[in-house]
């Protein structure tokens, strides 16, 4: 577990120079916010690991069994990736970065914490995972409604997608991995397309059609896919997750998740 913590710390330290490379007050502020958040989460992980080792005498991350330790580690990893209600740093940080670094933050930086969440998910309290999942989906849907900044929109999109991944983790980890893969592909498409067009606001996209019709079509399809509109790829994981939730006798949870997907879809359509 000490090595897992060290890996997360190296991961954080490596992206900080990339975030601060623009000598701009907003970039510096975003870097500082990110650093403080990640350092807090890493400290919580180390604290929980030590507590588990002290009470159970075991340092292995797969064997983490003390209820307080598993809850603390789960919350710390949720803070690291920006799950609601620990999501407040994510839109602010993403807004202060350029699109390339934003892409790294939204995709690559999620992999290490997710690998750890997958390993400890079987010992985690199911109610905690469900609460994090539902809250993230709702916050991701609501938060993006009044945004005009594309980076903030993509940040709320990230929170909503992470909610979908977390809610199915305890029942079918393979679906979480499928959702993560599709999310990373779609988000990469979005960030790279926006980078080529140099757009960071919704109104700049309104003028894009005469200039680059092909790229604008690609952006439209990627956004609708992120929203989970059939027959696009992004519909598949949502459908499978809702099906699995229904199988697990969680109809109310499935309904809330489906409704929150409609909220997300509304701001994507805009």
Give percent of the chain with pLDDT exceeding 90: 83
Total count of domains within the chain: 1
Average pLDDT over residues 27-49: 95
pLDDT of 91 over the 90 cut: yes
The per-residue pLDDT for 215 is: 94
The per-residue pLDDT for 135 is: 97
Tokens encoding 145: 């409604």
Cα separation values, 150 from 69, 87, 101, 201, 216, Å: 37, 17, 14, 5, 14
Of the pLDDT bands very low, low, confident and very high (cuts 50, 70, 90), residue 99 is: very high
Report the distance separating Cα 14 and Cα 16, nearest Å. Answer: 6
Tokens encoding 139: 């916050």
Closest CA to 54 of 75, 43, 68, 42: 68
The per-residue pLDDT for 204 is: 87
Report the distance separating Cα 270 and Cα 268, nearest Å. Answer: 5
- Comparison of pLDDT for 62 and 235, the residue scoring more: 235
The per-residue pLDDT for 17 is: 95
| Peptide bond preceding 260 in cis form (omega within 30 of 0) | no
Of the pLDDT bands very low, low, confident and very high (cuts 50, 70, 90), residue 36 is: very high
The per-residue pLDDT for 41 is: 96
pLDDT of 270 over the 90 cut: no
The per-residue pLDDT for 207 is: 84
* 26-35, 138-147, 205-214, range with the lowest pLDDT: 205-214
| Peptide bond preceding 231 in cis form (omega within 30 of 0) | yes
Residue span of the structural domain in which 105 resides: 1-269
The per-residue pLDDT for 151 is: 96
pLDDT of 2 over the 90 cut: no
Average pLDDT over residues 10-16: 95
Closest CA to 256 of 165, 150, 133: 133
For 148-192, what is each residue's pLDDT tens digit?
999 999 999 999 999 999 999 999 999 999 999 999 999 999 999
Q: If you average pLDDT over every residue of the chain, what do you get? A: 93
For 124-143, what is each residue's pLDDT tens digit?
999 999 999 999 999 999 99
Q: Which DSSP letter does residue 238 get?
A: H
């Amino acid at each position: 577990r000490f090595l897992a913590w060290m890996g997360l710390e190296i991961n954080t330290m490596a992206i900080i120079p990339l975030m601060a490379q623009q000598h701009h007050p907003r970039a510096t502020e975003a870097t500082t916010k990110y650093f403080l958040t990640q350092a807090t989460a890493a400290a919580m992980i180390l604290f929980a690991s030590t507590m588990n080792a002290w009470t159970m005498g075991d340092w292995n991350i797969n064997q983490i069994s003390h209820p307080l330790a598993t809850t603390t580690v789960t919350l710390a990893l949720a803070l690291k990736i920006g799950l609601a209600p620990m999501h407040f740093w994510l839109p602010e940080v993403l807004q202060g970065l350029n699109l390339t670094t934003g892409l790294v933050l939204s995709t690559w930086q999620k992999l290490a914490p997710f690998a750890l969440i997958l390993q400890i998910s079987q010992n985690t309290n199911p109610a905690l995972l469900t609460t994090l999942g539902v809250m993230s989906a709702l916050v991701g849907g609501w938060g993006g409604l009044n945004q005009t900044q594309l980076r903030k929109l993509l940040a709320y999109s990230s929170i909503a997608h992470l909610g979908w991944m977390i809610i199915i983790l305890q029942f079918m980890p393979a679906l979480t991995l499928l959702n993560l893969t599709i999310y990373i592909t779609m988000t990469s498409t979005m960030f790279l397309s926006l980078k080529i067009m140099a757009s960071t606001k919704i109104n700049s996209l309104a003028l894009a059609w005469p200039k680059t019709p092909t790229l604008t079509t690609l952006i439209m399809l990627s956004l609708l896919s992120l929203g989970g509109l059939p027959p696009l790829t992004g519909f598949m994981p949502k459908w499978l997750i809702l099906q699995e939730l229904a199988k697990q006798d969680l109809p109310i949870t499935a309904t809330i998740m489906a409704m929150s997907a409609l909220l997300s879809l509304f701001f994507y359509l805009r």
